[in-house]
């Protein structure tokens, strides 16, 4: 009897197929794409709010500043994620096979 058969018989709820079926959460590929889209929306929202303030629309300066800082912070986070991903790739390519 193989180890996989024993573990499936002892813990049938832990089989990989059932775990994969039960995992209804977001996929990694969608998380990254959605995050990039959110960063872009923050940037566009900040630019739009700045233009409205300059045009004299009913926009308060603190709202413009908050939108700008939110856009800056989300872009900084995206850049750090990119930098860490590049570092991880470089480390993985240096590993002996």
Q: Which of 80, 84, 76, 85 is nearest to 42 (CA)?
A: 76
**Domain assignment present for 2:** no
**Domain assignment present for 47:** yes
Assigned token pair, 65: 């500043």
Q: Which domain holds residue 59?
A: 26-94
pTM, rounded to two decimals: 0.67
d(CA 5, CA 11): 10
Q: How far is CA 44 from CA 27, 30, 62, 88, 97, in A?
A: 26, 21, 17, 30, 45
Per-residue pLDDT tens over the stretch 74-89: 999 999 999 999 999 9
**Domain assignment present for 8:** no
Ranges of residues in the chain with a pLDDT under 70 are: 1-23
**Domain assignment present for 37:** yes
**Domain assignment present for 38:** yes
What residue has token string 């991880």?
88
**Domain total in the chain:** 1
């Amino acid at each position: 009897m193989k180890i996989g058969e024993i573990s499936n018989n002892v813990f049938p709820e832990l089989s990989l197929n059932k775990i994969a079926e039960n995992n209804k959460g977001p996929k990694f590929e969608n998380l990254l794409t959605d995050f990039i889209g959110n960063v872009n929306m923050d940037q566009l929202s900040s630019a739009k709010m700045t233009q409205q303030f300059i045009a004299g629309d009913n926009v308060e300066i603190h709202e413009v500043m908050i939108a700008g800082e939110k856009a800056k912070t989300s872009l900084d986070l995206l850049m750090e994620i990119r930098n860490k991903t590049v570092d991880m790739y470089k480390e993985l390519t240096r590993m002996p096979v």
